[in-house]
Amino acid sequence: MALDEIKIGGLGASRRRVEDNRFIRGKGNYVDDIVLPGMLHMEILRSPVAHARIKSIDVSKAYEIPGVRLVLTGEMMAARNLAWMPTLSYDTQAVLATDKVRFQGQEVAAVIADDPYIAKDACEAIVVEYEQLPAIVNPMQAMAADSVVIRDDKENQPGNKVFDWEIGDKAATDKAFAEADVISKMELHYPRSHPSPMETCGSIADFDRATGKLTVYMTSQAPHIVRAAVAMVAELPEHMIRIVSPDLGGGFGNKVPIYPGYVVSILASILTERPVKWIEDKTGNLISTGFGRDVYLQGELALRKDGKMLGMRMKTISDHGAFYADAQPSKFKIGLMHSTFACYDIPAAHLESVGYYTNKAPGGVAYRCSFRVTEAMFFQERMVHAAANDLGMDQAEFRRMNLVKDDMFPYRTAFGFLTDSGQYGKCLDIGLKAIGYSTYKAEQAEARKRGKLLGIGISTMTEPLGAGNSREYDILGIKMFDSAELRVHMTGKAILRTGAMNQGQGHQTTWAQIVAHELGIPADDVTVEEGDTDTAPFGMGTYASRSTPVAGAAVAMVSRKIRAKARKIAAHLLEVSEEDIEWELGRFYVRSNKERGVTIQDCALAAYSNMPDGMEPGLENNAYYDPPNLTWPFAAYFVKVEVDAETGVWDVLKVVAVDDCGVRINPMVVEGQIMGGLTEAYAMASMQYQTYDSEGNCIGANYMDYLLPTAWETPGFELHEVVTPCPHHPIGAKGVGECATVAGPAAFVNAVVDAVGHTGVRNIDMPMMPNRVYEALTTGKDISGMPPVKMGD
Amino acid sequence: MTSLYDEVQAAPAPGVVTRRVTIKVNGDDRTVDVEPRLLLAHLLRQGLKMTGTHSGCDSSNCGACVILFDGRPIKSCTMLAVQADGHSLETVEGLASASELHPIQEGFKEEHGLHCGFCTPGMMLAAKALLDKNNDPTEDEIRWALSGNLCRCTGYQNIVKSVLWAAKKMRAESN
Amino acid sequence: MYPSRFGYESPKTIEEAIALLDSYAGEAKILSGGQSLIPMIKLRFSAPEMLVDINGIAGLDYHRVDPDGSIHIGALCRHEELENCALMEKHAPTIAAAAPLVSDPIVRTRGTFVGSVCHADPQGDWAATMTAMGGHIVAQGPKGTREISMKDFVIGPFQNTLAFNEIAIEAVIPAPKGVRVGNYLKLERRVGDFATASVAVSLEMKGDTVISAGIALASVGGRTIDASAAGQALVGQKITPELIAKVAAAVAATAEPRTDHRGSSDYKRQIVKTFVARILNGLATTSQKAA
């Protein structure tokens, strides 16, 4: 009898999570929970100014405080060749500042002491003399001919430019524009936003002089990348480095880059011969670590008068802060921005991209964004919204007419991506019905008579998830495959380890479900581990929604390798040839006599006690999966809002989300990811951002100014599901973790712009705070959020 | 005095004054010598090795550190350890009995009220404080009572469902 | 995140507390709710030598309405005691309206009404409420007690006129001459945020005629703004649409907001104007119903 797949926790089971057992008891094991004998504590002194020469650093008073063990400065790091480190984008980043500080919050010194209170006292006692320089807070200032050069540490550095890049067929695109009936334009700023997981970054570095081994417990979404980088930077042999990511309190991309604090804690451990713990405070996390977005996007759509899209061209100007520290595939300077418009049938497109240094925290790619796909899809849907209005067409019908149709797959986009599956029209229909679209226009007109401004916003997109195939994708030259290792014990229980590293996505629960699906071993019988580079097979970690597409595929593949060996064992046990063996969930049987069979557990025992002649004992294997393509989930989101015309405050009346992420391993977990992403979308649309004043002071470096919505403001969500399996993924799954963060913001913005659009407004930069909406309503002008923000009259 | 942070026993620096306090934590009296400036959250985490209460921000905004103080929810990062002298604390470690989970814990697991787990202890205790006063809250009342606890992962909807699940079970058990 | 060192005492009587303040000659601070002070100490914006914790002093955690109708709120009355409070809903609707909007529900279990007024934050909800309601602080020092009206109590951002050896032991709102009505509106982008603008309105009515009008603003100036003068046009009148528009504009003109990331000064004045109009409209409706 085949097992009931849902009962054993296979695919489609909303299996309750294994990791919950420890979290609900307060028995999680986060980095700050770990205590090692003799451990010291490190605090970082940060620059209060955005751009300045360091004239002097005096640490003498710090050493007078009892309990202070070591004070590290840039000069001391430089003596060991550690003042600068490589970034994941082939730039360099200061570990501790030497000549200059280049952003407010930059690391200047570090104190290692008996406890963090003393370390903080000592930081306050360090005297740094700064000679301030002008601060650059947006790329327009950075590109000005007379602007101060921020990266004067680099040779051959052209002003403040980081890169120039382009992709697409310019000639074909120009031709499309020449033939267009209507050209619709859009320009906006996607503001700087910070992933801000609840747990900040941190590390405990423990260099054991007796063995020569360095162990670092740290908040990393990609521990194997860290091991490789530490091996390069610290010149320690790779086999003597162990990186352990225990439980992570969220990540959202913030825990991918390698931060100065980690490097300093490692050196501190080596010098003090004690474990050194560094736990960032929230301000340190917000002001200095990997942020997302901060891109200026300008674009045009070439349209035929009946609404057909003929061509698209786009220019992006990205703000990378003081160091180009993006974590993204090396070939693509602006990530996968060119996946924009992938869900629409559009024959010609061209993208130009420039990046600039500014006096702000380094990075640009680290926020649930699949490498700039958030910017790509936000801009896409903002352009589409404006274009529909420019044409005088209905928002839904304009999209429907241009969306790739089901029978057009596999579809090659103008930028060369191959999308392979989807039912875009069906998702659109489900959402339109759920949001009450057919009666909406009448409702909106009637409400406006009563002085109430209603708006509906739509956002549809497909995005590339699961980087990625080795032909095109690598980080620092390392290809972006992933891995799984599965060992089945003699009693039929198993242990699975992968190269992924979840931060709340529930891998401990969901990977076991894939094993259950492939092998019929109940999910409860499979232990799952991730995050320890000594035991986990090499993987590129969890971000950009890549784990189900890549590591999940590896789990399926390794399970199939195990099943293939078990089949041979089954044949041996049943005394038939392998050709006569059939499989049903959990069991091999003889084709001609279904009652004669053996369970997978029987095979496991036999692997240790009754092997066929010549067969290697044991039942274990590994799989390294190089994905043939990215996966392409589709999302259609619909938001209805009401704007208060006297204050600009807007309330969300309804949110409908239709997601097609292929086969869902655990529906409960998938829905949780979508709701979490929609909340971040709402947050960015309404209140969450970082900005700067003209001196480079960061506004949004603590939770008083960096606003995250609470349960009170956050709307409820109505979720719908469509399933179009991925044709190339072993279990037909697609990524989903970031879909809602990618597609969500445009739905909210389109809704508010729809509510106030009768004034002529085409754009309000996020976050659409009440004052911005009010200004748009009363002036009819587009609202830009570009820093610096005006402070004082 | 033992430095609460260092496994190696260290004497306090000259001139550092400590106070002896006795605090009831999850029913047990705990006596410690602490500096006045030690935050209650740090006493719990480092001094008493109860790391279930978390530190999520530095401006008293996030609620990850919420515990119950004489039955009321407080931010343990915004109270000094010395202030808890003679008072009674409940932390996440005290929710479950030896044999059973508290209905709130069960509800969070059943309704997928957590992803990364970092906000969860504070969230559950704030929910407990609500349910101890009001055993049949509406969704709005739950969202209002939890508006001092930030979550970055779940989007709150399943947290609300978790609390409703727990409330239902607690009402049934009290009948 | 980690405060600098300080001393700590937890006296059991007010007199002991005053003696401690006296002996530390300005280097000591009172710790009551701690929800404003401790965050400041953690960020090292404040570094007192000594904290005098008054939470152990009995008899300070009360709120009551006396037979003459005056309202008395003790130094250790927590914000949450005034939320969903039948006494306040009946006798001090402005307080009842403001209470749920103070900070967030967790802070409200510890933070105190009186402590918040003493903190003199220009954003402070209670300072604005007290100003609109014509309240005063009762301070106790070595020489006894004295009453300080709100006008004389808050003189600048985070600056009150308590002597270094005085403690605010009570907030008093005097007995009304008519029926008290009022409301409090606050524009915050989320629970716990600093307000963009807040308006407190407290009127005393005889039937549907206004006999006394108090209006105060928070977050639109360097300190709480007493806009009651701009509300005097209401006294002796019924609340009409024309009066509402006039008063709303007059109150907005008293605001001294600063342009920042929450909005331009013009925008903040617009919010003040809108909120005054909305509050007065709501009070007009209920007072007509009551009449």
Residue after which a domain boundary falls, among B59, B94, B129: B94
Residues B123, B43 share a domain: no
| CA-based nearest residue to A276, from A80, A77, A42 | A42
Residue A368 among the catalytic residues: yes
**Cβ contact, residue pair A116, B5, below 8 Å:** yes
Rounded Cα–Cα distance for residues C147 and A69 (Å):
53
Residue A369 among the catalytic residues: yes
> Does position B8 have pLDDT exceeding 60, yes or no?
no
Report the pLDDT averaged over residues A493-514: 97
Residues B89, B110 share a domain: no
Closest chain C residue to A714, measured at CA? C190
Three-class SS state of A40 = strand
Show residues of chain C in contact with B78, CB under 8 Å. Answer: 34-35, 38-39, 107, 110
At B104-113, the pLDDT tens digits run 999 999 999 9
CATH of the domain at B51: 3.10.20.30
pLDDT at B116: 98
**Cβ contact, residue pair B75, C106, below 8 Å:** yes
**Cβ contact, residue pair B82, C55, below 8 Å:** no
Q: Check if A64 contacts B (Cβ < 8 Å).
A: no
Query: What is the residue-averaged pLDDT of chain B?
Result: 93
Residues B115, B84 share a domain: no
- The amino acid at residue A429 is D
Residues B111, B85 share a domain: no
At A392-436, the pLDDT tens digits run 999 999 999 999 999 999 999 999 999 999 999 999 999 999 999
| CA-based nearest residue to A763, from A791, A783, A733 | A783
DSSP 8-state assignment for residue A175: H
Q: Which tokens hold the place of B123?
A: 């969230």
Closest chain B residue to C39, measured at CA? B59
Residues B27, B68 share a domain: yes
**Cβ contact, residue pair B115, A20, below 8 Å:** no
| CA-based nearest residue to A117, from C34, C5, B40, C47 | C5
Residues B109, B90 share a domain: no
**Cβ contact, residue pair B82, C10, below 8 Å:** yes
- Integer-rounded Cα radius of gyration of chain A: 27
Report the pLDDT averaged over residues A314-326: 96
pLDDT at A425: 98
Catalytic residue, candidates A15, A313, A368, A399:
A368
Q: With beta carbons less than 8 A apart as the criterion, state whether A96 and B39 touch.
A: no
Chain B nearest-CA distance from A454, in A, is 23
Residues B58, B122 share a domain: no
- C-alpha pair distances (Å), C187 with each of A771, B122, C254: 11, 27, 18
- C-alpha pair distances (Å), C202 with each of A278, C73, C199, C217, C227: 52, 17, 10, 12, 11
pLDDT at C291: 64
**Cβ contact, residue pair C109, B66, below 8 Å:** no
Catalytic residue, candidates A369, A427, A603, A739:
A369
Report the pLDDT averaged over residues B39-57: 97
Distance separating the N- and C-terminal Cα atoms of chain A: 78
Query: What is the residue-averaged pLDDT of chain A?
Result: 96
Show residues of chain B in contact with A736, CB under 8 Å. Answer: none
Rounded Cα–Cα distance for residues A551 and A134 (Å):
47
Residue after which a domain boundary falls, among B94, B112, B134: B94
Q: Check if A686 contacts C (Cβ < 8 Å).
A: yes
Give the sheet arrangement for strand C7-9, strand by strand.
Answer: C7-9, C50-53, C28-31
> Does position A352 have pLDDT exceeding 70, yes or no?
yes
CATH of the domain at B126: 1.10.150.120
Burial track A274-300 (b if 16+ CB lie within 10 A, e otherwise): bbbbbbbbbbbbbbbbbbbbbbbbebb
**DSSP string for A108-161:** EEEEEESSHHHHHHHHHH-EEEEEE-----SHHHHHSTTPPPS-TTSTT--TTE
Q: With beta carbons less than 8 A apart as the criterion, state whether A504 and B116 touch.
A: yes
Report the pLDDT averaged over residues A56-84: 97
Checking ipTM against 0.90, whether it exceeds it is yes
pLDDT at A366: 78
Q: Which tokens hold the place of A686?
A: 């309404």
* Subunits close to B (at least 3 CB pairs below 8 A): A, C
At B112-141, the pLDDT tens digits run 999 999 999 999 999 999 999 999 999 999
* Subunits close to A (at least 3 CB pairs below 8 A): B, C
Three-class SS state of A248 = coil
Domain count, chain B: 2
**Cβ contact, residue pair A769, C189, below 8 Å:** yes
Closest chain B residue to C7, measured at CA? B36
> Does position A246 have pLDDT exceeding 60, yes or no?
yes
**DSSP string for B76-100:** GGGSBGGGGTT-EEE-GGGTS-SS-
Range of the domain at B6: 2-94
The secondary structure of C59-105, three-state, reads CCCCEEECCCCCEEEECCCEHHHHCCCHHHHHHCHHHHHHHHHCCCC
| CA-based nearest residue to A300, from A466, A173, A453 | A173
Closest chain A residue to B4, measured at CA? A115
> Does position C99 have pLDDT exceeding 50, yes or no?
yes
- The amino acid at residue A59 is V
At C265-288, the pLDDT tens digits run 999 999 999 999 999 999 999 877
* Subunits close to C (at least 3 CB pairs below 8 A): A, B
> Residue C178's Cα: distance from chain center in Å?
22
**Cβ contact, residue pair C259, A712, below 8 Å:** no
Residues B58, B7 share a domain: yes
Phi, psi of A552 (to 5 degrees): -60, -40
At C25-80, the pLDDT tens digits run 989 999 999 999 999 999 999 999 999 999 999 999 999 999 999 999 999 999 99
Residues B122, B48 share a domain: no
Q: Which residues pair with A638 in a beta bridge?
A: A458, A656
Q: Check if A35 contacts C (Cβ < 8 Å).
A: no
- Confidence class of residue B11 from pLDDT cuts 50, 70 and 90? low
Residues B152, B86 share a domain: no
pLDDT at A651: 97
- Confidence class of residue A451 from pLDDT cuts 50, 70 and 90? confident
Residue to substitute from B57, B110, B144, B146, interface A, most A β-carbons within 10 A: B57
Q: Which tokens hold the place of A627?
A: 């994905």
Show residues of chain B in contact with A679, CB under 8 Å. Answer: 154-156
Query: Which of C196, C261, C274 shows the shortest C-beta gap to A789?
Result: C261
> Does position B7 have pLDDT exceeding 60, yes or no?
no
Q: Check if A692 contacts C (Cβ < 8 Å).
A: no
Show residues of chain C in contact with A789, CB under 8 Å. Answer: 260-261
Q: Check if A647 contacts C (Cβ < 8 Å).
A: yes
> Does position B12 have pLDDT exceeding 80, yes or no?
no
> Does position A57 have pLDDT exceeding 90, yes or no?
yes
Show residues of chain C in contact with A791, CB under 8 Å. Answer: 258-261
Chain C nearest-CA distance from B57, in A, is 8
Catalytic residue, candidates A104, A141, A221, A503:
A221
Residue after which a domain boundary falls, among B94, B118, B135: B94
**Cβ contact, residue pair A646, C196, below 8 Å:** no
Interface of C with A (CB under 8 A): 1-5, 44, 104, 187, 189-194, 196, 258-265, 267, 270-271, 274
pLDDT at B2: 39
> Does position A390 have pLDDT exceeding 80, yes or no?
yes
Three-class SS state of A749 = helix
Residues B108, B75 share a domain: no
At C244-265, the pLDDT tens digits run 999 999 999 999 999 999 999 9
Residues B109, B154 share a domain: yes
At A534-560, the pLDDT tens digits run 999 999 999 999 999 999 999 999 999
- Confidence class of residue A792 from pLDDT cuts 50, 70 and 90? confident
Q: With beta carbons less than 8 A apart as the criterion, state whether A465 and A630 touch.
A: yes
β strands within chain C, DSSP E: 7-9, 28-31, 50-53, 63-65, 71-74, 136-141, 144-149, 154-156, 159-160, 167-173, 179-187, 197-206, 209-218, 225-226
Residue A221 among the catalytic residues: yes
Show residues of chain A in contact with C5, CB under 8 Å. Answer: 121
Chain B nearest-CA distance from C49, in A, is 11
